[in-house]
Amino acid sequence: MFAVFKTGGKQYRVAAEDVLKVDKIKGEPGEIIEFGEVLVVGGDNVTLGAPTITGATVAAEVLEQGRGPKVIAFKKRRRKNSRRKRGHRQEFTVLRITEILTDGKKPSKSAKPMSEPPAPAAVDPGATTAGAATDTQK
C-alpha cells in the first residue's frame, strides 16, 4: 500500500517503513506526527482525492531534526567595490512512515522508545582491580 501526501509545498509518495527527509516540521525525535493532506491512496484499489481524501492520514515518527550544508549566495557587481556574501542552511526533519490510515482511523503504533546508552557500572570504592599490584613488601 502506498500514499501520496503533501507537506511543505511538496508531494511525497511513501509506503510503510519508508524513511524520508522533508522540510522542518515541529516535533521532537521519537514523536508521532500525522499528515492529513493525503492526495492518493493506492494498493489493490487506487483512490484519488478531489483534492484530498477525507478520513485518510499518514502517520510518521520523527527520527531526527537537522540542518543541511551551507549554501553561499555571493553577488559581485563590477563598479563601486559592491559585494554581498550570504550563507544559508536549510532545516529539515527525517521521518519514518509508520502507517497509512484510511476511514478516519487513529495511529495504532506509539513512538518506539529511544535507545538509551547503557549506564556505567557502579564502582565499589573498597574493591581493588584484578591487575593492580598490592604493596605487601616493605
Residues 23-36 have pLDDT tens digits of 999 999 999 999 98
For the question of whether the overall pTM of this predicted structure is more than 0.85, the answer is no
> What would the grid cell of residue 112 be?
518506539
For 85-114, write each residue's pLDDT tens digit.
999 999 999 999 999 988 888 887 665 544
**Is 59:99 a contact under the CB 8 Å cutoff?**
yes
Tell me if 23 sits within 8 A of 10, measured CB to CB. yes
Tell me how far apart the terminal alpha carbons of the chain are, to the nearest angstrom.
79
What mean pLDDT do residues 8-27 have? Answer: 93
| Comparison of pLDDT for 34 and 127, the residue scoring more | 34
Cβ-Cβ contacts under 8 Å for 47 (sequence gap 6 or more):
40, 41, 53, 56, 102
The owner of cell 524513511 is: 19
Task: Give 45's DSSP letter.
Answer: S
Distance, CA of 22 to CA of 39 (rounded, Å): 17
On average, the pLDDT of the chain sits at 83
Which residues, 6 or more positions from 125, have their beta carbon under 8 angstroms from its beta carbon? Answer: none
Strand partners, 83: 76
Residue 10, CB half-sphere, CA atoms under 13 Å: how many?
9
